[in-house]
Amino acid sequence: MPSAGTLWTIPTQASGKAIRAVAAFGGVAIDLPQVYVHYQDNKKPEFTSKFGHGKTPAWEGNDGFLLFEGATITRYIATLAPNSGLLGKTKEEAALIDQMDAPHRKRARLSHDAHQAPPQRGPIHTIFLERQARALNTLEKHISTRTFFVGERITVADIYIATLVQRACISNLETAARKTVPNLIRHMDTLINQPAFAGIFGPTPVFDKAPDYVAPKKEKEQKPKAAPAPKAEKKPKPKVEEDDEDDNGIPEESKVKNPLDDLPKSTFNLEDWKRAYSNKETRGAGGALEWFYEHFDKEGFSIWRVDFKYPEELTQTFMSNNQIGGFFNRLEASRKYLFGSMGVLGAANASLISGALILRGQEAEPVVNVAPDWESYSFSKLDVSKDAEKAFFEAALAWDLEIDGKKWVDGKNFK
Ligand SMILES: N[C@@H](CCC(=O)N[C@@H](CS)C(=O)NCC(=O)O)C(=O)O
């Protein structure tokens, strides 16, 4: 079947997953861009001249038809498969699908967007959690007596809701919260694991505990000077109401002090290292690695191997590389504490993601847990006094790492 067009999205984008699932279910062939670097290509004139808002998902039909807004594209793709039943069989079903779908288009309600309300944002974090719980409970009640949200078979409402419930699981839904909505979780699990959706949804992590908001000592001392609490709570409100960003989030820079700043001062200057790495050849005399071993302070910093835990989910290598880009975007709040060099190794449908991190302190978690998907990766400390671990570290930085015969294809640096 000829492709209907190109969907501009990245693999981890929830609304993109919903569109891809609708296309897969309806038998509508679609292409994904061969090369697309999020936060770069969507700002280029060739993109914004087609999609004025400069955001993904965006649809470019092979007939020249252009569309943006995730929910709109989802429905449009469903109309290309009129016999699929995805939009309901009667006008009543169509209206019910719209009912189930519409209130939940405000994604912040259903999936507690880590970038809109990370725990560091204090009281608003709690408000978001309450809203999220209310939305989840409404859906739980509805699905507890049904197999599908509307009618007797899968519709766009099932796909859309399951996508957002998975997104919630990825961003913050800890085990206890999942247990309050067992039918909704069952519905999500059944739906995203349909054979037709293979390769679209990726893994759904299970958190025993979502990160709590802990008011740092310093903030308490400053409280009298800070804006009064009710004001602080209200401030982000318009954004919550209007902002339907559905990226996986660059956490807003925390106003509170990071405990990593309280570590004993280090002689290793991460910024100087980043410059050395950017400006010098990695290996060889006078190279970045030589600079590194001269300056590294193993008390103040540590070196880690990082591996994506679910290589069997990876398909096209360019998509895996975009995934690394997304992970790095979500690590933005830790830029001061982290350097990374990660890559895709292998070939399409037989690849893995691996690499090395240099980070502040002796634990990886406090540095990487700003990215909601950090638990999709495993982290093991490297001891560069051991030959094999040193060789791994150097190869990850030099982009010539090879694991189990899989060679480095492409990579990204977090600098
Ligand atoms: N309301 C839009 C929101 C789209 C959206 O927020 N897209 C983000 C996804 S990461 C984006 O493209 N951000 C890039 C940017 O703003 O430059 C939809 O539902 O499609």
* Length of the chain (residues): 415
Contact status, residue 302 vs residue 293, Cβ threshold 8 Å: no
| Interval between CA 211 and ligand 1 midpoint (Å) | 25
Task: Please give the structure tokens belonging to residue 277.
Answer: 């790495």
Nearest CA residue ID for atom 15, ligand 1: 55
What one-letter code names the amino acid at 404?
Answer: D
- Distance separating alpha carbons of residues 323 and 314, to the nearest angstrom: 10
Phi and psi based region of residue 56 (left: phi greater than 0; alpha: psi -120 to 50; beta: remaining): beta
The answer for residues whose C-beta is within 8 angstroms of residue 338's C-beta and 6 or more apart is: 270, 331, 357, 358, 359, 360, 367, 368, 414
Rounded to the nearest angstrom, the distance between the alpha carbon of 33 and the centre of ligand 1 is 16
Cα-based angle 76, 77, 82 (whole degrees, multiple of 5)? 90
Pocket test for ligand 1, best of 247, 248, 327, 330 (most atoms within 8 A of CB): 247
Question: Given this model, what pLDDT does residue 331 score?
Answer: 87
Q: Is the pLDDT reported for residue 360 higher than 60?
A: yes
Place of tokens 């292998």: 346
Which residue's alpha carbon is nearest to atom 11 within ligand 1?
55
User: pLDDT grade, residue 244 (50/70/90)?
Assistant: very low
Mean pLDDT of the chain: 85
Mutation pick for ligand 1 pocket among 8, 10, 15, 55 (CB with most ligand atoms within 8 Å): 55
The three-state secondary structure class of 216 is coil
For residue 400, what are its two tokens?
Answer: 């010539």
Contact 354, 393 (CB under 8 A): no
- Domain spans, the chain: 5-197, 260-414
Residue nearest to atom 5 of ligand 1 (CA): 245
Question: How much of the chain exceeds pLDDT 70, in percent?
Answer: 83
Closest-CA residue, ligand 1 atom 2, reads: 69
How does pLDDT run across 85-97, given as a tens digit for each residue? 999 999 999 999 9
186-202 pLDDT per residue, tens: 999 999 999 999 999 98
Whether 404 contacts 350, CB under 8 Å:
no
pLDDT per position as a tens digit, 282-315: 999 999 999 999 999 999 999 999 999 988 888 8
Integer Cα distance of 125 and 131 in angstroms = 10
Contact present, 318 and 285 (Cβ < 8 Å): no
Q: What angle do CA 93, 98, 103 make, to 5 degrees?
A: 140
Q: Give yes or no for residue 81 having a pLDDT over 90.
A: yes
Atom of ligand 1 nearest to the CA of 73: 20
Residue 94 has, within 13 A of its CA and on its CB side, a CA count of: 9
Q: Are 336 and 370 in contact (CB under 8 A)?
A: no
Sign (positive or negative) of CA dihedral 316, 317, 318, 324 = positive
- Tokens 């409402």 belong to 157
Both tokens of 86, joined, read 């995805």
pLDDT, position 17: 95
Rounded Cα distance, 371 and 324, in Å: 12
Closest ligand 1 atom, residue 71 Cα: 19
Pocket (CB within 6 angstroms of ligand 1): 13, 15, 39, 42, 54-57, 69-70, 244-247
Question: Residue 213: pLDDT band by 50, 70, 90 thresholds?
Answer: very low
pLDDT band at 223 (very low <50, low <70, confident <90, very high): very low
The first and second tokens of residue 320, run together, are: 């895996």
Whole-number Å distance between alpha carbons of 415 and 405: 28
- Nearest alpha carbon to residue 20 among 57, 60, 55: 57
- Return the pLDDT at 32: 93
Give the residue from 4, 5, 18 showing the smallest Cα distance to 155.
18
CATH class of 260-414: alpha beta
**Cα separation, 148 vs 145, whole angstroms:** 9
Q: Considering the domain 5-197, what is its CATH architecture?
A: Up-down Bundle (1.20)
The residue whose CB lies within 8 Å of the most ligand 1 atoms, and thus the one to mutate among 51, 77, 246, is 246
Tell me, what amino acid is at 280?
A: K
86 neighbors 22 (Cβ within 8 angstroms): yes
pTM summary value = 0.57
Pocket test for ligand 1, best of 19, 167, 245, 330 (most atoms within 8 A of CB): 245
Residue 105 has pLDDT above 70, yes or no: no
Q: How far apart are CA 14 and CA 261, in angstroms?
A: 34
d(C-alpha 133, C-alpha 126), whole Å: 10
The conformation of residue 274, written as its DSSP 8-state character, comes to H
Is residue 367 within a helix (H) or strand (E), and if so which, with residue range? helix 365-368
Q: Which residues make beta-bridge pairs with 408? A: 345
Token code pair at residue 76? 């449009």
Torsion of Cα atoms, 209 then 211 then 213 then 216, to 10°:
120
Question: At which residue do the structure tokens 């956490």 appear?
Answer: 251
Q: How do beta strands 58-61 and 406-414 pair?
A: unpaired
Q: Which ligand 1 atom sits closest to the C-alpha of 43? A: 17
Residue 247's pLDDT is what?
A: 43
Residue 218 pLDDT exceeds 60: no
DSSP H or E segment with residue 412: strand 406-414
For residue 38, the ligand 1 atom closest to its alpha carbon is 14
The CA 394 to ligand 1 mean position distance, Å, reads 36
What is the distance in A from the centroid of ligand 1 to the CA of 55?
A: 4
Helices (H), 57-149: 70-79, 91-101, 107-110, 123-143
Would you say residue 266 has pLDDT above 90? yes
Candidate from 19, 50, 56, 77 with most ligand 1 atoms within 8 A of CB, to mutate: 56
